[in-house]
Amino acid sequence: MHIPDSFIPMGQAIVYWVIALPFVFMSLKWARKELDDMKIPILAALAAGIFAIQALNIPIGMGTSGHMVGAVLVSIIFGSPFAGVLVLTLVLLVQGFVFGDGGITTMGANIFNMGVVSGFVGYYLFAALKSKVDIKAAAFVGAWIGLLVSALVCSVEMAIAGTFPLVAGLATMGLYHLIIGIIGEGLITAIVITAIEKSRPDLLDSSVTKAKGVRA
Amino acid sequence: MSVTANSNMNMKFLYAGIVIALLIAIAAPFLASSDPDGLESAAGGLIDEVTYSTMEESAPFVESPMPDYAIEGQGKMGEVAAVVAGTILVLGISFVLGKAAKKN
């Protein structure tokens, strides 16, 4: 879902930068408040893993492929969507400047879609579900729907840019990312969260592990 | 659990994370689907061919040193090197940024 430079006119691309930057700024404030020597290795390992897995496109049929985004996974582990914004910003900076994956002018839109929208939607959906269903299911649904909503937001941006027609764009992007979200985002997020919960439950933010059954 | 033991375990998580990330990075050029991603695929279907090929060929705002996760003329090994380099770069930047940002 990395938008190249040519898909959004410069004026609009700047608007998305203006929208994205406060979130990036707040994610740095989050890092200042929450990160310590215990958490930094976890953040760095996750960021590296997400960069690598974003290079692994999974075929979804219809001549189309997709990959994990990862903002929801990071947000769940750290108990804050700003962790997802921070990691996605770093990953997108390297992808854009070093590998030409995603434009530089459109990086604001990409940070907003993949870091902010998918991370916030996915994390808060997970948070709402975790007291009702098990943590695996909550992580799966959060990650899946987070990706889907970010693809729909991307379609609206494409329509405003005049690049895609609105309805056809929503339908096509929605269909592809509905499928990418199940395999690439939901399943992988649920598997990683389950593995961490089993092996190192202390790594998960306490709000994640103690939630179930506590709230009436 | 003592702070030191916990810190060692987190360093273990870092090393395990690095190994997993590098394994994915090495495998990705061989395993990744070359089909267009969701956005490109939608663009191919929704934008007329001439306009889309013009958009695809337009120069990016900034030229990147390793476009499309490849090193010119180096084939698959170049792709592996590119993704591995990117993974290490992201790891390093995150680590340094984390150290710089954390409260003292």
Residue B12: predicted pLDDT = 85
Residue B102: predicted pLDDT = 81
- What is the C-alpha R_g of chain B? 19
| Interface with B, mutate which of A94, A118, A203 (most B CBs under 10 A) | A94
Per-residue confidence at A149, pLDDT binned at 50, 70, 90?
A: very high
Helix H or strand E segment including A59: strand A58-61
Q: Check whether B8 has a pLDDT greater than 90.
A: no
Residue B2: predicted pLDDT = 58
Q: Is A212 inside a domain boundary? A: no
- A40 → closest Cβ in B21, B41, B98: B98
Provide the 8-state DSSP code for A157.
H
Query: Tokens for A12?
Result: 């609009």
Query: Tokens for A205?
Result: 């933010």
Question: Is the CB of A49 less than 8 angstroms away from the CB of B34?
Answer: no
Yes or no: say if A77 and A39 are a contact pair by the CB < 8 Å rule: no
- The residue among A92 and A213 whose pLDDT is bigger is A92
Q: Could you report the per-residue pLDDT of A6-39, keeping only the tens digit for each? A: 999 999 999 999 999 999 999 999 999 999 988 9
Q: Could you report the per-residue pLDDT of A103-119, keeping only the tens digit for each? A: 999 999 999 999 999 99
Q: Is A17 inside a domain boundary? A: yes
For tokens 């769940």, the residue is: A76
Provide the 8-state DSSP code for A57.
P
Yes or no: say if A110 and A102 are a contact pair by the CB < 8 Å rule: yes
Question: Is the CB of B87 less than 8 angstroms away from the CB of A44?
Answer: no
| Interface with A, mutate which of B8, B30, B37 (most A CBs under 10 A) | B37
Provide the 8-state DSSP code for A105.
T
Tell whether A171 is within 8 A of chain B (Cβ): no
Would you tell me which residues 149-168 of chain A have a C-beta closer than 8 angstroms to some C-beta of chain B? 151, 154-155, 163-165, 168
Question: Is the CB of A47 less than 8 angstroms away from the CB of B16?
Answer: no
Helix (H, G, I), strand (E, B) or coil at B37: strand
Indicate the number of domains in chain A: 1
SS (H, E, C) B40-86: HHHHHHHCCHHHHHHHHHCCCCCCCCCHHHCCCCCHHHHHHHHHHHH
Query: Tokens for A164?
Result: 């895609």
Q: Check whether A209 has a pLDDT greater than 80.
A: no
Yes or no: say if A169 and A41 are a contact pair by the CB < 8 Å rule: no
CATH number, residue A148:
1.10.1760.20
- The distance in angstroms from the start CA to the end CA of chain A is 39
Chain A residue with CA closest to B7: the answer is: A38
- The residue among A115 and B2 whose pLDDT is bigger is A115
Per-residue confidence at A213, pLDDT binned at 50, 70, 90?
A: very low
| Residue ranges making up the domain that contains A77 | 7-207
- A1 → closest Cβ in B10, B39, B63: B39
Give residue limits of the domains in chain B.
Answer: 3-101
Q: Is A14 inside a domain boundary? A: yes
Query: pLDDT above 90 covers what percent of chain B?
Result: 76
Chain A residue with CA closest to B30: the answer is: A56
What number is the average pLDDT over the span A85-94?
98
- The residue among A212 and A51 whose pLDDT is bigger is A51
Yes or no: say if A85 and A72 are a contact pair by the CB < 8 Å rule: no
Closest approach of A216 to chain B, Cα-based (Å): 31
Evaluate whether ipTM surpasses 0.90: yes
Closest approach of A193 to chain B, Cα-based (Å): 14
- Gap between the Cα atoms of A158 and A117, Å rounded: 16
* Total length of chain A: 216
- Gap between the Cα atoms of A40 and A33, Å rounded: 12
Q: Could you report the per-residue pLDDT of B57-103, keeping only the tens digit for each? A: 998 999 999 999 999 999 999 999 999 999 999 999 999 999 998 86
| Interface with B, mutate which of A8, A51, A114, A155 (most B CBs under 10 A) | A51
Q: Could you report the per-residue pLDDT of B10-63, keeping only the tens digit for each? A: 888 889 999 999 999 999 999 999 999 999 999 999 999 999 999 999 989 999
Residue B7: predicted pLDDT = 74
Q: Which amino acid is at A195?
A: A
- Gap between the Cα atoms of A160 and A13, Å rounded: 11
Which of B97, B48, B84 lies closest to A44 in space, CA to CA? B97
Residue A216: predicted pLDDT = 37
The rounded mean pLDDT for chain A is 94
Residues 6+ apart with CB under 8 A from B11: A41
**Chain A residues touching B1 at Cβ < 8 A:** 202
Residues 6+ apart with CB under 8 A from A195: none
- The distance in angstroms from the start CA to the end CA of chain B is 22
